[in-house]
Structure 1
Amino acid sequence: MRAPGDLVLGELSATAAAWPAGEADHVDGVPARLVAAPSTTDEAAAVMRIAAQHGLAVVPRGTGTKLTWGRPPERADLVLDTRRMDRIVEHRAGDLVVHVQAGARLGAAQEHLAPAGQRLGISPVLTPGAGPGTAGGVIATAATGPLRLSHGAVRDLLIGITLVRADGTVAKAGGKVVKNVAGYDLGKLLTGSWGTLGLVTEAVFRLHPLPRAARWVVVGVASAADTHDKVQRVVHSQVVASALELDRPAGDPAALAVLVEGIPEGVDGRVRTLVDLLGGDATAADEPPAWWCHAPWAAGEVALRLTHEIAGLPRLLDAVDDTARRCGLRAAVRGSAGVGVLHAGIPADPGAVPAFVARLRELSPSWSGDVVVLDAPPRVKTALDVWGPVRGLTLMRRVKDQFDPARLMAPGRFAGGI
């Protein structure tokens, strides 16, 4: 007689590619039992129905670049790998819309769109040794980067979505034209849900024209106050920057970099205006600085996301510096100061990190933001509430109960144990 696991594997294999999980399939240290890799929404729905029938906890996975972010799931019976769902389903260039499967890699999608003079305005921050990930991954984690200033967040670009619920039911919302906003709230709800509400299998995004020219203006900043002053100059100017990024390496000089895009003549004029506006050592370049779009942490360090109101930027930066000194840590900060989303990297000192995080959270009301530990080695993560205080947690739990009453989708991975 076959073991129950063999029986489930047999059922899964009859609907999609499936195999026993190995050590490489563990989810943030939690062992997985099985892996299934559907290639279509119908196959994914069949896999989810089998998982629900057997009470299997499901953790969606794309390229796995952010699979250790957040809390470890309570269990990971089945890893649902989306990488075989990698098609560009439809590109409607005239409508500035692209329809992709969830496993489509962002890099491949951009290459497909470029000949039509278009792009998807998502530029996720790259973690050490990893690429930009998949369409489903950026929806699940709401991961954005420099282009958020000009193109908006992931949820602003998502106009249609296909979801498979925990019981295998397929739900669709939105459409394939920018004017169609029916069901758009479902897309917003799923963006940043970390795979805890269901499996995204397809998505429709609105696109932007690919600019003919791009240049960067880089200027040094001497202090938190100087940083804030220069950020304010840029965001309140007529330059219309595409991106505004801050780099504050631990112990090294800090800098702001501004991306200006458009037609060559217009870009050149705006760059000259920007250099004059920022003054000092501001210089223009045809290539981004080496740190552009890269996370500020090294492999094995603690990764944090720090959000803030634009006016609260100097208070946040001063608090990071002061708290790092108090805790004996070196903190590198980098990110989109123009939209209030920064990232930080600190050494993984089990004795100092909890105190660093606790003090920043205590001070965070002064800059109206949150402090989230995205990733950390297990010895550090176990001593932390990685999500911290979360507004609207009661409502979030009600939504979880509606979408996944049996708690089968990545249980415990999100805030409040959702």
Structure 2
Amino acid sequence: MADLQRFGDVLRQHGGEVREAGPGDAVDGVPATAVARPASAEGVAAVLREATAQGLVTVPRGAGTALDWGAPPERVDLILDTTGLDRLVEHGAGDLVVVAEAGLPVTALSETVGRAAQELVVDLPPGRLAGGSTVGGLLSTGASGPRRLQRGAVRDLVLGATVVLADGTRASSGGKVVKNVAGYDLAKLLTGAYGTLGVVVRVAFRLHPARPDRAFVTGSGPLADVAARARDVVASQLAPAAVELDRAAGSDVAEVAVLLEGTADAVGQRAAAAAALLGGRVQAGPPPWWAELPGVSTGSTRRGSTGGSVETREVTLAKATATLTGVTGLLAAARDAEQRYDAGIAVRGTAAGVLHVAVTGSPDATALAIGHLRAAAPGPREGTVTVLRASREVREVLDAWGPVGGIDLMRAIKHQLDPGRNLAPGRFVGGI
């Protein structure tokens, strides 16, 4: 049990607040006992130092838009709310660099740098942006959107980070200058680690100039044909900013959308060439599904012919990767798994091989379908399928992570940075 009086004394010295956890203070269904909201990096360090001294498990939380991604923690004694760290520390417009605290909403950061005709190219799902997704949450989940094809994933945009370890030690890596490459490893380790290695308090990102004009090209057709045409666009000299595929559950066809960015004349010429490659058409705006996660909901109930409830069909969200040529096989595997296991499988993401998959079905059907997809993406080099969000019933019959390379090294890093397993134990692969 957390000693709230002790935490209150600690935070009075550094700013912030602590309270008992309420009904909404849970991490993927695991309830917390207390919530601390420090207002500075020093406050985060003091809170973690005290929590570790009390033998507590701490889980960091930003806006909570992806708090049910990953795996449920073993327990939650203390939620460390980072939204009190919400400053934009520095915007070096001339260097295309921004430094922000972990609790700053991504939308607020984007609005600030946008006034200088710059952008942080991450393309989070609209639902997460609307929910106030923070800089720390962006880093901890490692989420990247359509334009990762040309500009890179989140970890490629991180120049440096400051993190507080479980014992209260502050550590930094990288810097705020693009050419500074020292110490990148820690910042990259934190990306996608779900808060299991340390609590991010500050991040420096590489920005890009905002391109003034854009056009979209869309097309559709049979799965293999669309995947092949999309692959041709990716490999072409057209320099697309993004090439996205969307395959609705139960469908034998897919849609492809290509984003071209630049200046008006050049965009128009490239869009016409892309339309010729795709056999598609040019349009000013994106398709409705652009940057959205496929089929995300809390679950649905299928009803029998008499109207009675038959079974609950949960929606499980997974991330699937494949080689550029392996995307065709992944789409075919999704259709085959639907027919074999009575599941619905929607697939959406970049044609270069980073996609999200929404599987709708019973827990057993979902496990079988995920296994079928993993056979089409059989390992870290050829591709992987990892579960981001699932019900407890699905997790009981399914290994959420699948084959993972370098697990012993990951465990060694966790032990070195958090030997007492005080930070979000169980949230990451292999129970890390």
Query: TM-score interval w.r.t. the shorter chain?
Result: over 0.9
Greater Cα shift, 362-371 or 263-272: 362-371
Q: Which residue of 1 aligns with 2:308?
A: none
* Counterpart-to-counterpart distance in 1, 2:25 and 2:160: 30
Once the two structures are TM-superposed, the CA of residue 317 in structure 1 deviates from its matched residue by 1.0
| CA gap 1:269/1:98 in 2 versus in 1, 3 angstroms | same
Q: Which residue of 2 aligns with 1:245?
A: 244
Matched, 1:355 2:353: no
* Counterpart-to-counterpart distance in 1, 2:46 and 2:156: 30
Once the two structures are TM-superposed, the CA of residue 364 in structure 1 deviates from its matched residue by 2.4
1:270-289 alignment, distance < 5 Å: 270-279=270-279, 282-289=280-287
Once the two structures are TM-superposed, the CA of residue 361 in structure 1 deviates from its matched residue by 2.4
Q: Percent identity?
A: 46
Aligned length: 412
| Matched letter for residue 227 of structure 1 | V
Secondary structure of the residue aligned to 1:143 is: coil
Q: Which residue of 2 aligns with 1:20?
A: 20
| Matched letter for residue 58 of structure 2 | V
| Matched letter for residue 341 of structure 1 | V
Q: Which residue of 2 aligns with 1:385?
A: 399
**C-alpha RMSD of the superposition:** 1.7
Counterpart contact for 2:319–2:355, Cα < 8 Å: yes
| CA gap 1:276/1:364 in 2 versus in 1, 3 angstroms | closer
| Matched letter for residue 353 of structure 1 | T
Once the two structures are TM-superposed, the CA of residue 379 in structure 1 deviates from its matched residue by 2.2
Matched, 1:201 2:207: no
Greater Cα shift, 225-234 or 93-102: 225-234
Greater Cα shift, 246-255 or 111-120: 246-255
* Counterpart-to-counterpart distance in 1, 2:83 and 2:4: 23
Counterpart contact for 1:9–1:20, Cα < 8 Å: no
* Counterpart-to-counterpart distance in 2, 1:220 and 1:25: 44
| Matched letter for residue 22 of structure 2 | G
> Deviations along 1:204-253, whole A, 9 cap, x unmatched?
00100001011110011212x21221122101211100011111111344
Counterpart contact for 1:125–1:132, Cα < 8 Å: no
> Deviations along 1:390-418, whole A, 9 cap, x unmatched?
11000000000000000001001100000
The partner residue of 2:359 within 318, 329, 346 is: 346
* Counterpart-to-counterpart distance in 2, 1:390 and 1:402: 20
Q: Which residue of 2 aligns with 1:36?
A: 36
* Counterpart-to-counterpart distance in 2, 1:56 and 1:365: 38
| CA gap 1:4/1:402 in 2 versus in 1, 3 angstroms | closer
The partner residue of 2:346 within 332, 343, 347 is: 332
Secondary structure of the residue aligned to 2:202 is: strand
| Matched letter for residue 142 of structure 2 | A
Counterpart contact for 1:11–1:50, Cα < 8 Å: no
Counterpart contact for 1:65–1:130, Cα < 8 Å: no
Secondary structure of the residue aligned to 1:162 is: strand
Q: Which residue of 1 aligns with 2:100?
A: 100
Q: Which residue of 2 aligns with 1:54?
A: 54
1:1-12 alignment, distance < 5 Å: 5-12=3-10
Matched, 1:303 2:301: no
Once the two structures are TM-superposed, the CA of residue 6 in structure 1 deviates from its matched residue by 3.8
In the alignment, structure 2 segments of 5+ residues that lack a partner are 299-314
Counterpart contact for 2:63–2:134, Cα < 8 Å: yes
Secondary structure of the residue aligned to 2:220 is: strand
| Matched letter for residue 288 of structure 2 | A
